[in-house]
Amino acid sequence: MEGKKHLLSVVISVILQLFVVSGAVEVSSGGRKGTWKLLQQNTGVVAMHMALTYRNTVIMFDQTAAGPSQHRLPRRYNGKRCTRSREDLEDWSCYAHSVEYDVDGNKLRSLRLDTDPWCSSGSFLSNGTLLQTGGYGSGSKKIRYFNPCSDHQCNWKQSKQMVCFQSVTPEKDRVIIVGGTHGRNAFSYEFVPKLHSSDRSFNLTFLRNTNDPNARGNNLYPFLHLSSDGNLFIFANRDSILFNYRRNKVIKTFPRIPGGGSRNYPSSGSSVILPLDQKDRFQKVVMVCGGGASGAYEAAARGTFLKALTSCGRMVISGYRHMWKMENMPGPRIMHDMLVLPTGRILIINGAKRGCAGWKNAVSPSLQPYLYNPKKTLGRRFSVLKSTKIARMYHSSALLLPNGGVLVAGGNPNNRYTFRNVSYPTELRLQAFIPHYMDRQYHHLRPVNVSIEYSSNPYRIAYGEEFIVQFRLERRPIMEVEYSVYAPPFTTHSISMNQRLLKLRSKNTVRDAGGWMTAVLEAPPCPNVAPPGYYLLTVVNGGIPSLSQWIRFIHA
């Protein structure tokens, strides 16, 4: 009811924090490397694609053409019963190729996919519905919707429409999709949903110019970042532009990223836009890390696996002067995931050290996550975290969980589910990487009992509106308390689509004698800065995060 205050349920979010020493990559003692926890021995379905919903569930799904999964269904999508005959045991439609993972209950349930979503894209609409586009074969022109529900009885719904590759949500419930047909011979972009039946796709010459036909494109799954000025940053292969999608016009052509090699599929580096902060008017900095060496795809076809790129580049995409500032990771990396953490640090996880993406095109898994602190000086920004024992290579993924861990799943460099007689079997184990600050020794610094007060719309906050966050600290803040909101992404193929983190301005903070803190925060000013939808809000006290809450930003 309007006029009353409403509170959201409480969940935990994540940051990572390590110390580094003068120019060298070193990790301090004291258990600051984090820990790994096995959550499920068998997810049943390879997590080629993953997305966290505001219901605290994770949607995972794989290609249907990979053969029978580990979850049998009683009936096909046409209603015909699946039997124990040899034909039905090999029929993909008698198996689930998608699951919903309940984070709080550590449980899985099967979902039905009727067409192949292999190598597709996704984005959340403002109401929390997952819009999932494209795929392979009969699925290449499909749109799928998943609307999460409280009773966990919902399932995928499908409609027909031409769709393509990497997607980003620049406007309310309208998604722009760039590329298509694995990026080959589809050098265009389009919008979903279409406003008129006559709406079409639009030519994007930049994709044609960055295509490397001898290396399977090297510009597939281009990196897309919505700039807070309303334009779209697009990076493909080694080049990048700022694009006005409303006018179909290139606004800027940025310098080529230095060094050889390529950064997009099948060379498969990764990219993030660094945190947007109201204090500096949401200055926009893009970071690109890793990728494949020149000729990696051709060499892999001959059984030779070239060392991946070690370099990362940062560039300010706002203003008028642009230059890539380069630095090196602790080691070479391809097919990795980059996640923005609530304190603004970047987790680099999964992947391999040699080769490129594709079936059996890589060796030497990257087992150690890296942590990147953009506020440190050059040469002191990277730290090495605790190693896993499970290879997460082609078709693996990772995302932040609301319970304080980083979910890590998937991995299948084989074109079918294969568990024996291969170097890297199909991987169905589900893990969580748990950062060190989740330990009890930091509880005295952790903000607790976080709640959000709504003055009008329950569970919704309009752009530019002031709202109140209350929480309790056992002792006075050790430094300035920060407030971050994080848009959970759709992750696949080393890309976290629509991922962004904003640091909100606190206009006033009061602490009473009992340790209760009341902060007046200012919502993001417009959809260009924070597209409408659900975000995770976290209070951070000296690098220690609070329990997080879901918050939704909307048009007034």
Q: What pLDDT is recorded for position 165?
A: 53
Residues 418 and 531 in one domain: no
Q: What pLDDT is recorded for position 266?
A: 96
Residues 470 and 424 in one domain: no
Distance CA 182, CA 107 (A): 33
Are 289 and 310 spatial neighbours (Cβ–Cβ below 8 Å)? no
Residues 537 and 416 in one domain: no
State which residues form the domain around 508. Answer: 442-554
Specify the pairing of strand 461-462 against strand 547-554: parallel
Residues 213 and 353 in one domain: yes
CA-wise closest residue to 550 among 450, 447, 482: 450
Residue 6 included in any domain: no
Residues 370 and 463 in one domain: no
Residues 258 and 351 in one domain: yes
Specify the pairing of strand 174-178 against strand 188-192: antiparallel
Q: What is the CA angle 364-369-373, rounded to 5?
A: 135
Residue 3 included in any domain: no
Residue 143 included in any domain: yes
Residue 122 included in any domain: yes
Handedness of CA 384, 386, 392, 395 (dihedral sign): negative
Residues 490 and 393 in one domain: no
Are 332 and 309 spatial neighbours (Cβ–Cβ below 8 Å)? yes
Q: Which H or E element spans position 431? A: strand 430-434
Q: What pLDDT is recorded for position 35?
A: 94
What CATH number has the domain bearing residue 293? Answer: 2.130.10.80
DSSP E strands in 247-331: the ranges are 249-253, 270-273, 276-277, 285-289, 311-316, 325-328
Residue 302 included in any domain: yes
What CATH number has the domain bearing residue 509? Answer: 2.60.40.10
Residues 219 and 286 in one domain: yes
- Residue by residue, pLDDT tens for the chain (556 residues) are 223 332 222 222 222 222 222 223 333 333 689 999 999 999 999 999 999 999 999 999 999 988 889 999 888 877 889 998 888 888 888 999 999 999 999 999 999 998 899 889 999 999 999 999 888 887 888 899 999 999 888 999 988 654 445 666 666 678 888 986 554 567 999 888 876 666 788 999 999 999 999 898 999 999 999 998 999 999 999 999 999 999 999 999 999 999 999 999 999 999 999 999 988 888 899 999 999 999 999 999 999 999 999 999 999 999 899 999 999 999 999 999 999 998 889 999 999 999 999 999 999 999 999 999 999 999 999 999 999 999 999 999 999 988 778 999 999 999 899 999 999 999 999 999 988 877 888 889 999 999 999 876 667 899 999 999 999 998 888 788 999 999 999 999 999 999 999 999 999 999 998 899 999 999 999 999 999 999 999 999 998 888 889 999 998 7
Q: How many other CB atoms are there within 10 angstroms of residue 71's CB atom?
A: 18
Residue 514 included in any domain: yes
Region of 281 (left: φ > 0; alpha: ψ -120 to 50; beta: rest) is left
CA-wise closest residue to 13 among 504, 484, 495: 484
Residues 540 and 478 in one domain: yes
Residues 292 and 388 in one domain: yes
Residues 76 and 218 in one domain: yes
User: What are the distances in angstroms from CA 115 to CA 109, 456, 494, 497?
Assistant: 19, 42, 23, 22
Residues 423 and 481 in one domain: no
Are 426 and 398 spatial neighbours (Cβ–Cβ below 8 Å)? no
Structural domain count of the chain: 2
Residue 164 included in any domain: yes
Domain boundary (419, 438, 457) is at 438
Q: What pLDDT is recorded for position 26?
A: 31
Residue 7 included in any domain: no
Domain boundary (438, 461, 477) is at 438
Domain boundary (438, 472, 505) is at 438
Give the alpha-carbon dihedral of 508, 511, 512, 514, to 10 degrees: 150
The identity of residue 537, as a single letter, is L
